[in-house]
Amino acid sequence: MNKTQKGAWFTLLMSVLLIIFLGYILLAMFTSGEPPKTFVKFWSLLVLGLMVFSLVWLRIKQSPAEVDSDERDDLIKKRAVTASFVSVWILLIASTIATMSIVGDNGSVTVYLLPILNFGVFLGVGLVYSVAILTQYGWGGKDGEK
């Protein structure tokens, strides 16, 4: 795996973990009013541990002379950025419609829900970006090496 693929796997993993984390926090807040502290502590440690691990993992090269990225990586990243840009609008509209349909036409939401929704959209975009990269690489497999 090259650095771009590793970065995409890391972004994918982090996005999924944080989406689960955010989803659980939101669910807990709406049902019991407070997120469970042990869950928050465990998840925070997991995310922090992954970040530290990635610092080492991303530095490991396939060979000492390997470049960080080349023309194909740049092209793949450019396409992934386009896909994620489109997903920003889709996710923003979807989250607004979802909120409207949950609380109703005359309903109201607390102000803190808006930054949480924005953060959720940001995570969704990260997910789309990483999936777009990995799909173009064929998910890393054996690279078709013979």
Partner 1 sequence: MAKSEISNNIRRLRFENGQMTQQKLADKAGVTRQTIIAIEGGKYSPSLTLAFKIAREFGVSVEDVFQYGGKAR
Site residues, partner 1 (CB under 8 A): 2-5, 62-63, 65-67, 69-73, 136-137, 143-146
**Between 39 and 143, CB nearer to partner 1:** 143
**Between 99 and 135, CB nearer to partner 1:** 135
Residue 22 CB, shortest distance to partner 1, in Å, is 33
R_g over Cα of the chain:
19
Residue 30 CB, shortest distance to partner 1, in Å, is 43
**Between 67 and 111, CB nearer to partner 1:** 67
Residue 66 CB, shortest distance to partner 1, in Å, is 6
Collapsing DSSP to helix, strand or coil, 15 comes out as helix
HEC profile of 81-146 = HHHHHHHHHHHHHHHHHHHHHHHCCCCCCCCCHHHHHHHHHHHHHHHHHHHHHHHHHCCCCCCCCC
